[in-house]
Amino acid sequence: MTELDGRVARSIRSRVVVAEAWAARVEAEPMPPDMETLAEESGVSVRSIYRLFGDNRAVVDEGVVARLRAVRPLVAVDAPARASLANRCEAVAVGHGALHEALLNFRFFAIDPTAAPVVTKALGSLRRARRAALSSIFERELDRLGSDDRPARLDAIESASGWGTWHGLRVDQRLARTRAQDIVEAELRAILR
């Protein structure tokens, strides 16, 4: 490995460390860290952070993408096709509730219209993965619908168990997590009957 290759590798590692430190801080409290705190927690100097990222917005974007990657495994819900509709609805409410809970402090940063295309791309990828999982989990019920009704019903399932709904229940209405899960589960059952 040449010296240049080593510097490039260190720069990449430093970017990852800074992005993960930003995400960890925002996970703990919804206010983003200032650069001095981020430098201290990541072990990368403020000057190096600006050299690596250019500006604060780029740090935020990388941090959001790091968090989206970290929570992606939560899209997979243990809801076997042979389970009852009630059990599958509960599994989605709990499983995707955990996904949305893990992203509560990141919502503002992720939906910011000034976010970089990489954030939009990561959000789109997560949404497509969630939609595919929901389609698979509720395949039995969706297959009974006509081809014209299936996309609309899947949209309703996605919305009822989605980030916006979760945020509304947990933040706007200030409901407990278990109460929010119960509401999502009831909405899913109503949509799928």
Tokens 């168990």: give the residue: 161
Q: Are residues 89 and 181 in the same domain?
A: yes
pLDDT for the residue numbered 87: 96
3-class secondary-structure state, position 44: coil
In a domain, 60, yes or no: no
**180 vs 109, more confident:** 180
Q: What is the pLDDT of residues 60-116, one digit of tens each?
A: 999 999 999 999 999 999 888 889 999 999 999 999 999 999 998 888 888 788 888
Q: Are residues 46 and 83 in the same domain?
A: no
Q: Are residues 23 and 111 in the same domain?
A: no
Q: What is the pLDDT of residues 46-57, one digit of tens each?
A: 999 999 999 989
- Residue 167 CA to residue 169 CA, distance in Å, equals 5
The domain of 163 spans 69-192
In a domain, 109, yes or no: yes
Q: Are residues 146 and 78 in the same domain?
A: yes
As given in the structure block, the two tokens for residue 141 are: 């019920």
Q: What is the pLDDT of residues 24-38, one digit of tens each?
A: 999 998 888 899 999
User: In degrees, to the nearest 5, what angle opens at C-alpha 185 toward C-alphas 147 and 107?
Assistant: 90
In a domain, 139, yes or no: yes
Q: Are residues 111 and 44 in the same domain?
A: no
pTM score: 0.85
Mean pLDDT of 139-153: 89
Q: Which residues are within 8 A (CB) of 125 and not within 5 positions of it... i.e. 6 or more apart?
A: 68
Query: How many domains does the chain divide into?
Result: 2
Q: What is the pLDDT of residues 107-132, one digit of tens each?
A: 888 878 888 899 999 999 999 999 99
Query: Which band of pLDDT confidence, cut at 50, 70 and 90, is reported for residue 12?
Result: confident
Residue 175's region, left for phi above 0, alpha for psi from -120 to 50, else beta, is beta
